[in-house]
Structure 1
Amino acid sequence: MSGWTLGLIIGLVVVVAVVALVTPIILLARGIAGRATQIDRALVQARTNTAPLAALSTTIDHAEKIVAGLARGRARLGG
């Protein structure tokens, strides 16, 4: 076997090994990309669903003012 033939065989083995190792990585990356899109959609939906919670502190402040007003009214009525 000449040096060229041996070099060609070794080169082909290396190329086949690289392809065999890189192919599963590419397939996994495609799967992750598909799931990332689903996760992004779910996060956008979660943000939409929880946006009203930002106004919760305002609601609590108003409720406290209403309760304080009711307490004052009750106190004036002798209750």
Structure 2
Amino acid sequence: MSSTAGWTLGYVIAIVVVLVVVALVVPILLLARRIGTQAGDIDDSLAESVTNTAGLAGLRVTIEHAGVIVAGLRRGRERLGG
């Protein structure tokens, strides 16, 4: 084997290794990009959910006030003989 044949074989092996690495890395990068896009969509949806459910924070106060109103109505009804 001449010295140029050895270099040629080395270059061919190096090119094959690089192609294999690229073939393995490209799908991983594409999947990572897709996951990143979906994560952004999920984050936007969660932010919208926070906005849409912000009113539920005052639900406990509303329930307490409704209880006071119902108790007052009950007392009024009893006083009126009903």
* TM-score normalised to structure 2 length: 0.85
Paired residue for 1:41? 44
Q: 1:64 and 1:34 mapped to 2: Cα distance?
A: 47
Residue 33 of structure 2 corresponds to 30
The AA in structure 2 aligned to 1:37 is: G
Q: Distance in 1 between matches of 2:63 and 2:10?
A: 78
Counterpart of 2:73 in structure 1 is 70
2:9 maps to: 6
The residue number in structure 2 matching 1:17 is: 20
Deviations, residues 31-51 of structure 1 (Å, cap 9, x unaligned)? 111121111111100110001
The Cα shift of 1:9 comes to: 2.1
Moved over 4 A (4+): none
Compute the displacement of 1:30 (Å): 1.1
- In structure 2, the gaps of 5 or more residues are none
Percentage identity across aligned positions? 62
Alpha-carbon separation, structure 2, partners of 1:3 and 1:72 = 103
Distance 2:75 2:6 in 1: 102
What one-letter code is carried by the residue in structure 2 that aligns with 1:22? Answer: V
Q: TM-score, normalised by structure 1?
A: 0.88
Question: Structure 1: where are the runs of 5+ without partners?
Answer: none
1:55 paired with 2:58, answer yes
Task: Using the TM superposition, name which of 12-21 and 31-40 deviates more.
Answer: 31-40
